[in-house]
Chain A
Amino acid sequence: MEFNVNFDRSYNAPRIVKTVFDLKEANACIEKGHKVLFQPVQLNDDLYSHGFIFKNSEDGLCQIAESREYFVQYGRTIELPEDDWEVVIRVKHYARKRSLNLEWAAYVLPLEPKEGELFYVEDLIEDILVSEFWSDKIYAVDGIATWNGHELELRRDLYDSGECMIVG
């Protein structure tokens, strides 16, 4: 599930940092005078969900589950006892599929960025886990960052799990 950063862009709207995934596109931006910041795409272990494929001994049908006993939403515990369910293989799932197909990406800054200027990063390269909802991983897709003259410093406090919950 995708998490969009909670930020009001209608007030002092920050300029937008674009993300490119193609070298020609990156070079075209460099030719126009933009700063282009290349980054490797690195998978984040926190975005993996782990489980097993279990095979039913009676009908041979299979299902994926995180363990032999797991809780499903709305108060039900499912059990897959060893006598009835055989483990076939371990499986894992990565929440942000896009990252599986990329080696690198690059941020393109607007022209003449000022040191200390705040930007809206519309497509985050880094994979950041924000929260979870049952087995679903909730990951960030955008962000707010400050240009320090050398790199973009992300406002990581905006990815606190508390951003996904309301208590009261």
Chain B
Amino acid sequence: MLTIKNNQVIDASGSTLKTLSCPRRISDADLENPRHAESRCTHCDRDVINTDYLTEAQIIARLKEDPTTCLKINRFNPIFRVIDQEPEHGI
């Protein structure tokens, strides 16, 4: 299982694989083909990898090859454990 904490993707051994650093709040509407395995982001023209299609090992391999790879992560994907940061105030 991969953990996401403080915007970092961390593997089972505790190593940080990637920092999630997108400055925008991207939704499906911002991706050209949101249901595909790869989709171009209409804001920055980079490919975004849809992790729904990948195994944990494939995600790790991809991030080790290029930690700047952009990922789309579904919070309900059992591969990931998302530890939320508390919102500062209210919503």
Contacts and interface: CB of A to CB of B under 8 A. Distances in A.
Interface of A: 1, 6-8, 10-12, 73-75, 131, 133-134, 136, 138, 144, 155, 158, 160-162, 164-168
B52 A167 contact: no
Nearest to A133: B76
Contacts of A133: 52, 74, 76-77
Interface of B: 4, 7, 19-22, 25-28, 30, 41, 48, 52-55, 58, 70-77, 82, 84, 86-91
Nearest to B75: A164
B28 A162 contact: yes
Contacts of B55: 74-75
A166 B77 CA distance: 11
A8 B89 contact: yes
Contacts of B21: 168
7 contacts: A12-B90, A136-B76, A161-B28, A165-B27, A166-B75, A167-B30, A167-B73
Contacts of A134: 52
A7 B27 contact: no
Contacts of A7: 87, 90-91
Nearest to B31: A167
Contact of B22 (A131, A155, A167): A167
Contacts of A166: 4, 20, 71-73, 75, 82
B77 A167 contact: no
Nearest to A12: B90
B54 A75 contact: yes
A12 to B, nearest CB: 7
A131 B52 CA distance: 13
Nearest to A73: B52
A10 B89 CA distance: 9
B76 A8 contact: no
B70 A168 contact: yes
Given A161-B28, A167-B73, A144 B91 contact: yes
